[in-house]
Amino acid sequence: MRQFELESVEAIDQAVRHRRVHDGQAFIAGGTTLLDLVKLDVMQPEKVVDVTRLPLKRIELLDDGRLKIGALVSNTELAKHEIVMRDYPVISEALLSGASTGLRNMASTGGNVMQRTRCPYFRDPDMPCNKREPGTGCSAIDGINRNHAVLGTSEQCIATHPSDMCVGMVAAGATLVLEGPDGQREVAFEDYHLLPGDTPEREHDLKPGELITHVILDAPRGGGQHYLKLRDRASYEFALASCAAVVNLDGDNIGEARLALGGVATKPWRADAAEAALKGQPATQESFERAAEAAFSDAVAYSHNGFKITLGKQAIVRALRDATARARA
């Protein structure tokens, strides 16, 4: 394993100042992505900045009803927080469907947002990969791509974004708070992750020197919520297809539905075409199936992952059915 310098910071401005001065730096929170990838030599930081002493460990209910989550809150703590379980079950369920008990104890909210793709070619420095080494080519497009994306892909990269939590947050609605050398700014959660396009190495809207300090969840949308994750084994596995659904009924019709998809797309995916197809429609199997068709109308399959289009549609229908049942309960 490569050597690096390690420095611990006690204050946010110290962390942010650090990144501006030096290149080749990485923050470390839980370490479950960073150390995994340093051991593989996929990430090569010269200096690692330990941010775990920063005062970003609280979950705070704001006056306007939104919920402000510190970037260092662990995945376990967030999933099991009273308010999250009550008002944002879609996020709690998404978190608990991810990784394992031990990893969730270690993993942070900020680190989860920043986790890297599980594309096996990205994880192998001997293979060409545009995301790891721009311009070398994509090994997955003509390789084994069973786990890869069918939505939001480009000719340069078809890797999925692996997070479950992020999919729940897109459905619930959220804002990221970033602190950098030029001060603080906010970004809508669903705009934060970027499509690969011609620059798959650019995965998010974090500028050099910036730190995620908080995620603020929109005020609760109520309704029925559900996160459904489909995968090769029942637990401790990434999604092949997943769907986060938040459904508000208006009588027997759907008032507003918010849908996000995981496992099938290059970023945590808001299924807005499906949402539009549901608005004002009767909450029936036929409406759910029409929405699922709309969500995948632009999907592009590669040699091994065509099944994800079928699986993704089924995930939407089932998640909507369960969320609607909960909205009625």
Partner 1 sequence: MAPVIRHSTGVGFCTPGAQADIAERPSAVSGKTSETRRITLTVNGQQHDLQVTPNAILLDVLREQLNLFGTKKGCDHGQCGACTVHVNGQSVNSCLLLACMQEGVDIVTIEGLAESAGFEQGHHPVQEAFLEHDAYQCGYCTAGQMMTASAVINDDTIDGDEVSLREALSGNICRCGAYKNILDAVQSARGKMRGGQ
Ligand X SMILES: Cc1cc2nc3c(=O)[nH]c(=O)nc-3n(C[C@H](O)[C@H](O)[C@H](O)COP(=O)(O)OP(=O)(O)OC[C@H]3O[C@@H](n4cnc5c(N)ncnc54)[C@H](O)[C@@H]3O)c2cc1C
User: Which stretches of the chain bind partner 1, using CB under 8 A?
Assistant: 1-6, 8, 28, 30-32, 35-36, 38-41, 44, 46, 48, 50, 52, 76, 80, 96, 99-103, 105-106, 125, 234-236
Nearer to ligand X, 17 or 290 (CB): 17
CA 112/CA 104 separation, integer angstroms:
10
The count of residues interacting with ligand SF4 (CB under 6 A) is: 15
Cα–Cα distance, 32 to 17 (Å, whole number) = 24
Choose one: 84-92, 99-107, 278-286, 318-326; the region binding ligand X (CB under 6 A): 99-107
- Binding-site member from 117, 154, 242, 305 for ligand SF4 (CB under 6 A): 117
Q: How far is the CB of 33 from ligand SF4 (least distance, A)?
A: 14
Do 45 and 26 touch, CB atoms closer than 8 A?
yes
Select from partner 1, ligand X, ligand SF4, none the partner in contact with residue 27, using the beta carbon and a kind-dependent cut-off of 5 to 8 Å.
Answer: ligand X
Shortest-Cβ-distance residue relative to ligand X: 111
Q: Does residue number 29 form part of the binding site for ligand X (CB under 6 A)?
A: yes
| Only segment of 106-114, 140-148, 149-157, 268-276 that touches ligand X (CB under 6 A) | 106-114
Beta bridge partners, 69, equal: 59, 215
Pairing of strands 47-50, 5-8: parallel
Backbone phi and psi for residue 40, each to the nearest 5 degrees, phi listed first: -80, -5
Q: How far is CA 124 from CA 111, 147, 192, in A?
A: 21, 16, 26
Q: Assess contact for 78 and 168: CB atoms under 8 A.
A: no
CB of 240 to ligand SF4, least distance (A): 16
| Contact between 140 and ligand SF4 per CB under 6 A | yes
Bridging pattern class, strands 25-28 and 253-262: unpaired
Q: Counting contacts by CB under 6 A, is residue 43 touching ligand SF4?
A: no
Interaction of residue 38 with ligand X, rule CB under 6 A: no
Read off the amino acid at residue 311: L
Distances (CA, A) of 256 to 272, 275, 282: 11, 8, 12
Distance (Å, whole) CA 135 – CA 217: 37
Select the residue interacting with ligand X from 36, 205, 272, 289 (CB under 6 A). Answer: 36
**Contact between 291 and 278 (Cβ < 8 Å):** yes
Any contact of residue 264 with ligand SF4 (CB under 6 A)? no
Q: How far is the CB of 15 from partner 1 (least distance, A)?
A: 15
Where do contacts with ligand SF4 occur on this chain (CB under 6 A)?
A: 117, 119, 121-122, 129-131, 138-140, 148, 157-159, 200
